[in-house]
A = this chain, B = another copy of it.
Amino acid sequence: MNNQNDTGTPSGSGNQDTNVNFGDPGQTAEPLIKFKYPQRPQTVPAVQNFGGKAPPPSKAIVKGELEGDQDDYVKRRQRNNIAVKKSREKSREKSQITSERIDQLKEENCVLENKVEVLNQELKVLKQVFMDHAKGFSGSGIDLPDLEQLEKLLGHKLTDKPGTSQMHDNKTNGPSCSGSKS
């Protein structure tokens, strides 16, 4: 139950010494306070068995580093710590970039929405004018703008909303997007 066992017990003064503290030699002049950040008593981990017991066979670490080459182990840890730090920094950066990407996409979206709106307006105006004049030409002896052909080209009736035979519904498209023209 007392998972902690002595070595891990927080009451150890200074730093525990099983470790080497190579990361910063000549430091730790700390009198009483044990960890500011020093290190971990590791309360939970709870491996309470080690009363000098050999850990379960695992990889190569046990035999290699812990028993023999501690130095190797330490070096390995050192390198891994660096790697971890690096990896996390990278992760944080990625996160940041992702966040910016979202803003960027939102902005692009906004611009495009505005563009669509403008184009719709222009189209509307143009069509209206077109229709008006087409009406006027009717019976004037002059070739009518071939409405049918035009409509074929457009893919929809001139009186329809433009787009892809689907409406854009600008009305409801209100303020989903702030200013940002082109």
Contact = CB atoms under 8 A, between A and B. Distances in A.
Interface residues of A, number: 94
Interface in A23-53: 23-24, 27-28, 30, 32-50, 53
Given A123-B123, A162-B122, A181-B164, A61 B45 contact: no
Given A112-B113, A150-B125, A19 B42 contact: yes
Nearest to A12: B66
Contact of A115 (B7, B48, B163): B163
Interface of A: 3, 5, 7-8, 10-11, 15-16, 18-24, 27-28, 30, 32-50, 53, 55-59, 61-62, 65-67, 73-74, 77-78, 81, 95, 98-99, 101-102, 105-106, 108-109, 112-116, 118-120, 122-123, 125-127, 129-130, 133, 136-137, 140, 142-143, 145, 150, 153-154, 162-164, 166, 168, 181-182
